A and B are shown apart, each in its own frame.
Chain A
């Protein structure tokens, strides 16, 4: 599982509330990613990080922010959750200097 954990694994929240999802890795990987998965859309990149404090936007970044203050943690924040952000969120890493990506177990977020 490439030493990746995500928390929480499930969350139900109300529209307009802030939500933070955490991705934690234990193997000092440099690159980390947040994807969302929705039926009919596959996996879409939200944000990624190439080092501590180094982040950039992906395909569907609107409404999301990220932070990486430590190598092992990559946080995804929904400042004001909307129903369209109901999804399964996956964190991923690449190993060493390669490009192979490995995914965390996912977080199922429901915004009511």
Chain B
């Protein structure tokens, strides 16, 4: 089955700086890579996703890049703000096999220092 590794487990950055979270996956059949943000006591919220037919996707201050050859993808947050503090999860799955569910990384606790 799929295995998703996520690094780092904790990331502390100064407000206004950029943050990068990296994930690797093992199954070459995976072609869908979402990122979720989870605030304390809340549900995971989908913030951005990328499919394997594109290399990069951007939405305001967040972007995701994908390297299919190396089987890794990354989340980039620029101009970080206090409200970006949360746990972020990457995941991998196969569209069309969406019924099989997603495989998640173990999460990154992002701390924005004022």
**Chain A contacts to B: CB under 8 angstroms:** 31, 33, 35, 40-45, 48, 50, 56, 58-59, 90, 94, 98-106
Tell me if B110 is interfacial: C-beta within 8 Å of chain A.
no
Interface of A, helix, strand, loop or mixed by DSSP = strand
Q: Check A50 against B99 for contact (C-beta < 8 Å).
A: yes
- How many B residues are at the interface, by size bracket? 20 to 34
**Chain B contacts to A: CB under 8 angstroms:** 1, 6, 32, 34, 42-46, 49, 89, 91, 93-96, 98-107
Q: Which of B44, B45, B46, B49 contacts A43 (CB 8 A)?
A: B44
**A43-B104 in contact given A99-B32, A101-B46, A105-B43 (Cβ < 8 Å):** yes
Give CA–CA (A7, B103) in the complex, Å. 24
Query: Cβ of A58: which chain B residues have Cβ within 8 Å of it?
Result: 101
